[in-house]
Amino acid sequence: MNLPVTNKQGGPPGKSGKWGKHVIEEARGRAFVYFCVLLMVVTIFSIVFFIASRGLTPFISQGVSVKDMLFGLKWKPEGNPPLFGALPFLFGSFVTSVLAALIAAPLGFCASIFMTEIMPKFGRTALQPAIELLAGIPSVVYGFVGLSVVVPFLRDVFPGQGIGILAGAIVLSVMILPTVTTIGTDALRSLPSGLKEGSYALGATRWQTIYRLILPTALPSLLTGVVLGIARAFGEALAVQMVIGNAPHIPRSLFESATTLTSIITLEMGNTTSGSLHNNALWSLALILLLMTFLFVFVVRMLERRVKR
């Protein structure tokens, strides 16, 4: 970042020549905003650098192979020899977040259509504030409600303990519903109105217009919302950790205790000494989370490029 000394729009030259009051004031302001931006850039690079430097240690100098970590089934960091198979965590994270998206997406799409096509006024005054409120509720509160309502309900209705992938997915689906709905609603609102009017003029019913015209046109934006929802679900830690049971194996049913990347990190990070192999392996899991974030951002950008075209 260079700090310009002179400024073309700095106003008339002050009484003291080149270094007038305006120039100094402008330079100070610029210095401040450049500092803020620089700080942000430095922060993100140091996040990536520090987590990568710790997360890559097990692979580089402590003899764990990438393949064992990504596809291994057993997580026994204190065993002899220690095993670091993270597949159960990856599986748990993927299945819960995709399942949550499968529940939230239809609900969110319906809510978006309701707010834009069916009852715009009621949608704007009642449904939209309700969804914004859902977005504001803290994740630990979702976890608490999941633990005290969803889990007992699943325990009564289905076989098993109630905790497990389905409980996690239900809690997550409520959490990501606002993301899916808000982005979907914005997308539907920004469609050109001529599109709809043309369809109605041809005698199509409302549902035909929605199904054949509006949904296909807005699909990339709707999918953006879903991907952002999955990203949020993937990174969510405490709410899932509270209801999923945290057993480090791949479950055979939706009602069996499982675990995710984030919950194993929250549970074990505090109990390991910094620098040990076990601790570094947890940083590798954090690195996987980080890489997944990049992937999600990349997918969202691709979808947005399709919207613009």
Partner 1 sequence: MRAKTVDRIATAIIICVAGFIMLVLAALLGYLLVRGLKHISFDFLTSAPQAIKVGGGIGPQLFNSLFLLVLTMIITVPLGIGAGIYMSEYAKDNKLTAFIRLIVEVLSSFPSIVIGLFGLLVIVNTFGFGYSLLSGALALTVFNLPMMVRLTEQSLRNVPKEQKEAGLALGLSRWKTISSIMIPVALPSIVTGSILAAGRVFGEAAALLFTAGMSSPRLDFTNWNPLSPTSPLNPMRPAETLAVHIWKINSEGLAPDAPEIAAGASAVLVIMVLLFNLGARWFGRVVYRKLTASK
CA 282 to chain centre: 20
Cβ-based neighbours of 285, under 8 Å, separated by 6 or more? 55, 86, 89, 261, 264, 265
75 membership: H or E segment, kind and range = strand 75-76
| Closer residue to partner 1 (CB): 83 or 300 | 300
Q: How far is the CB of 72 from partner 1 (least distance, A)?
A: 22
| Closer residue to partner 1 (CB): 36 or 195 | 36
**3-state SS string for 137-187:** CCHHHHHHHHHHHHHHHHHHHCCCCCCCHHHHHHHHHHHHHHHHHHHHHHH
Q: How far is the CB of 95 from partner 1 (least distance, A)?
A: 17
| Closer residue to partner 1 (CB): 53 or 65 | 53
Contact between 56 and 284 under an 8 Å Cβ cutoff? The reply is yes
**97-124 b/e (C-beta count within 10 Å ≥ 16 → b):** bebbbebbbeebbebbbbbbbeeeeebe
| Closer residue to partner 1 (CB): 65 or 211 | 211
Residues in the chain: 309
Q: How far is the CB of 24 from partner 1 (least distance, A)?
A: 9
Q: How far is the CB of 222 from partner 1 (least distance, A)?
A: 15
Q: How far is the CB of 7 from partner 1 (least distance, A)?
A: 7
Residue at token pair 């715009």: 120
| Closer residue to partner 1 (CB): 106 or 159 | 106
| Closer residue to partner 1 (CB): 29 or 79 | 29
Q: How far is the CB of 79 from partner 1 (least distance, A)?
A: 24
The residues facing 225 across adjacent strands are: none
